[in-house]
Amino acid sequence: MLSVSNSIAAGLPSYGLYAETRFLSQSYRKFAWKSSYKYLRIRAVQGNDGRRRLVDIIRIIPELSRDYFRSRSRRALFGGISLLGGFYVAQTISLSFGALGVNDVLAAVVCVLLTEYVTKFYYSQPKVTFPIALLNNFKMGFTYGLFIDAFKLAS
């Protein structure tokens, strides 16, 4: 039977957890666990001493997303996800309003206005950025989904 080491934390000294390395047995010394209490401490940041505040984190999100989407494979992946997302939304709208038979003319008007507005917005921009391209991919998938549903109804 395996013997238990004496380095297991036995209590809560001074009413708080402490970070100490623990072992299950003599044979598992290389699998050390550390308590994560020291990472859970929250301190107020009063000055700008190099620590991140919530506002700073929100400000660096656009830069982080630009760095994340520099890879062509990630751009292609998210473009495909946007295209298929538009297809899914079109199928859902068509199924919902077509099955009920209520307000389907209004739903068609909203769908046409949405696609026309996105087309106008896309082609009025002097420079096409990645989020705008994702919006256009969503519109293309949406239009394709509505066409496919119309072909299904015609047959």
Q: Which domain holds residue 124?
A: 72-154
Structure tokens that stand for 133 in this block: 């391209």
Q: Give 33's strand partners.
A: 22
d(CA 10, CA 15): 13
Alpha helices for 35-129 (secondary structure H): 54-68, 72-100, 104-124
Residue 53 lies in a domain: no
Q: What span, in angstroms and rounded, lies between the C-alpha atoms of 46 and 76? A: 43
Domain membership of residue 120 (yes or no) is yes
Per the structure, how many domains does the chain have?
A: 1
> Is residue 117 included in any domain, yes or no?
yes
Contact 57, 45 (CB under 8 A): no
Identify whether 56 is part of a domain.
no
Contact assessment for residue 128 and residue 111, using Cβ atoms and an 8 Å cutoff: no
- 18 falls within a domain: no
Q: What is the pLDDT of residue 60?
A: 87
Residue 132 falls within a domain, yes or no? yes
Q: Note whether residue 54 is domain-resident.
A: no
Phi, psi for 125 (deg, rounded to 5): -80, 135
Residue 76 is assigned to a structural domain of this protein: yes
In tens digits, the chain (155 residues) has pLDDT values of: 444 444 444 444 444 444 444 444 555 444 445 555 555 555 555 555 566 678 888 888 888 888 888 889 999 999 999 999 999 999 999 888 877 777 888 888 999 999 999 999 999 999 999 999 999 999 999 999 999 988 887 76
